Chains A and B, each alone.
Chain A
Amino acid sequence: MQQGGNVERRTILKAAGASLAVAGLGATATACGGGSGSGDGTVTIRYSWWGAEDRAERINKTIALFEKKYPKIKVKTDFQPYTDFWKKFNTQASGGNPPDVFQNAIGFLRKYDAKNVLLDLSAQVEAGNLSMEGFRAGLEKFGEIDGKLLGVPVGSNSMALVIDKPVFTRAGVKPEQGWTWDDFDEAMTKIRDRTGRAGDSGMYGVMYLYDLYLRQNGKAFFTKDGLGFSEADLTQWWTKAEKGVKSGLFADPKKVAQIKPKSALSAELAGSEFTWDNFTVRYTSEGKSEYGLAPIPTTDGEKTGQYLGSLMLSGYKRTEHPKEVAQFIDFMVHDPEVAKIMGYDRGVPTTQAQYDAYRPTDPVNKAIAAYEESLVEAGVLETITPHPNGADICEAAFLRIAEEMALGERSVGDAVKQFFSESKTALAG
């Protein structure tokens, strides 16, 4: 019996050893799983982006098209909503396993360049894998920082004032290119008095609008390595906001917070809202009214301070397949079929070929196209101001602190101090 017991034990030990070995092998296998490429020369690149289901459907169609044209390249996709996207990206990137190619924006270029994450695509341009020709209105320079090509714009957009058309008509307000902030304030008052609705949903927290306001006054939100305005500037902006909230010109901030994620404009709390022009589609599906685009108010009756903003595609610096990444980006920004599938989902296509390939037929997208064309015709477009490392954190803080100020949780002075202290930390990092 004793001997039998020993044998049994030995068997169990062996089995345990074997299973440990298998577990070890398993671990090695997963560790290698990150890499890609198989015997027949097929490579797999990972592509991730932020957005929602409808964008996913469009993007999957474009990828099917890409894989047909490049049968040796497989594309694996992954997507999250905006904020979750960057959390996941940070974690992946710090673990040395970020996607090979990903959606990016101006606010992140310096940040991830400083962290050695972004692939300089200029070598691929020289090698002929990526063409930087045929871009509209100087957009090809958009992803360049310190002589490095860190991103290729896929869609351009610009700030606009989205309005509830019937409300504006009832109030007898007709915004025109070149209207001033005084005209705007007057319009807000008219809307409040004649329609019983707040004029605006609360633009004091929209960083990109405040940037335009500063640019109209010869300043900017960001400089290359810091903030381009003073505490006095922000105090003035938020004091005006506080008054607007109290007098009912801007929507009740508490209500606005409560109805999130719905927008205050489509929830009929306000007559207008400042946002990126390609977001307009959202209002039509959310609300019952008819929505239109109005120009940005000016300080001097001419300059809006506007520039084209853009979503970009960037590559990972240490990707094993820089050539395939470049080919993928090239296809996505130049192929006319891609534009027909994507529409204005990520903004107006950046290359002339794609711009010509997609002519919108629905009223919302037509309005976006007309708005962007009017900007070009009015000649108000300028070049974008730089975004320093930490800009993304500044933007989040700006939005949050503006909301706290509007909700009455902070005085204006306190809010301004808090924003400058948080930005200082963010921009130092």
Chain B
Amino acid sequence: MGTAVTHAPAMEDLAKGSEPRHGPVKPARPAELKRRGRRENLAGYLFMSPWIAGFLLLTAGPMAASLYFAFTDYNLFDAPRWIGLDNFSEMFGDPRWRHSVQVTLWYVVVGTPIKLIAALGVALLLAQKRRGQAFYRAAFYAPSLIGASVSVAIVWKAIFSDDAVVDRTQQLFGIDAGGWTGDPDLIIYSLVALTVWQFGAPMVIFLAGLKQVPRELYEAADVDGAGKLRQFWNITLPMISPVLFFNVLLETIHSFQIFSSAYIVGGGAGGNACGPADGTMVYTCYLYVQGFENSRMGLASAMAWMLLVAVALVTAVLFWSQKRWVHYEEGGR
């Protein structure tokens, strides 16, 4: 049949003729159109140039440099010396590095779920209509606004240090354990408490997710005689699973990158860099110690790239796993 052959050119003509236009603009000749397009592009790039320059200078450049340093011995003063994969093999052979990996993994595995459970729990409470709702939402959200700041970490340190509020409260109950921040075994719990306290951001996202769950589902469940717990497991959780996935992903990545709170609560200025007996020696803390205290920028760069790879892997696993537990509504309702 010949129709199929003639069909395509016809479509082309049709497309050319009915080019969409906005407003009563006179059709321009192709050359002029091209010129104007180029001018417009140029203007666009010019307006973007601060961002592009910033990206190249402050992000792409340093990243490329850091990737190069990862394969060199670089002490900040002498020119970097290419040593291939030596930094990486040294890293794996270093017990202190393995300790920092352990501390970080523990922090991620313990801290993140508690934080998310707290966020979801409070979101469930705040999703119901009650008096003063706006106030409670703001009050619970506030810590995550200020939580990342150094000053909060300092306050936290003051709360958990020896003979401070927490210690004295413990003493009231006859527990004389001393301050948490000076105890190599307890200090990490104060960090977990700090991150859990900042559950506001995931809470707000959960709240938005909870609002999206159709009421009819609960009504139907009520009619069928399902209890509250049952409704939570079978309706709420599946319905908010995309939001849950988003929060798990974000908070996990966030936990891997913990630095300032560990560094400051753990000691910071003066003395041990990251807690007594390396109690809060999380990965980025050790990276900082190697880079800035021991002047081993090459090794620190290698560690940074290792962290990037690890976080990418964890993210990939999470994305792969979402097929099994995240439910997206298909085709709309």
Chain A contacts to B: CB under 8 angstroms: 9, 12-13, 16-17, 20, 80-84, 86-87, 90-91, 93-94, 115-117, 254-255, 257-261, 393, 396, 400, 403-404, 407, 409, 418, 422, 426, 429
Contacts and interface: CB of A to CB of B under 8 A. Distances in A.
Contact of A254 (B78, B178, B296): B178
Contacts, number: 88
A9 B43 contact: yes
Given A94-B77, A407-B184, A429-B75, A255 B270 contact: no
Q: Name the interface size band of chain B.
A: 20 to 34
Interface of B: 43, 46-47, 49-50, 75-78, 95-96, 161-163, 178-179, 181-184, 269-273, 276-278, 292-296
A83 to B, nearest CB: 6
Given A93-B76, A422-B96, 17 more contacts: A13-B43, A16-B46, A80-B269, A83-B269, A83-B293, A84-B269, A115-B75, A254-B178, A258-B162, A258-B178, A259-B162, A393-B294, A400-B278, A403-B276, A404-B277, A404-B278, A429-B295
Nearest to A259: B162
A404 B181 CA distance: 15
Binding site of A, secondary structure by majority: helix, strand, loop or mixed?
helix
Contacts of A255: 178
A260 B277 contact: no
B270 A94 contact: no
A20 B49 contact: yes
Given A115-B75, A258-B179, A426 B294 contact: yes
A422 B95 CA distance: 10
A403 B272 CA distance: 10
19 contacts: A12-B43, A16-B46, A16-B47, A16-B49, A20-B49, A80-B269, A81-B270, A82-B270, A83-B269, A83-B270, A83-B293, A255-B178, A257-B184, A257-B277, A258-B182, A259-B162, A261-B271, A400-B272, A429-B296
Nearest to B46: A16
B271 A83 contact: yes
Contacts of B271: 83, 260-261
A257 B276 contact: yes
A405 B182 CA distance: 16
Across chains A and B, which 8 residue pairs bring their CB atoms closest together, nearest first? A258-B182, A94-B76, A115-B77, A257-B276, A258-B178, A258-B162, A257-B182, A404-B277
B46 A13 contact: yes
A94 B300 CA distance: 16
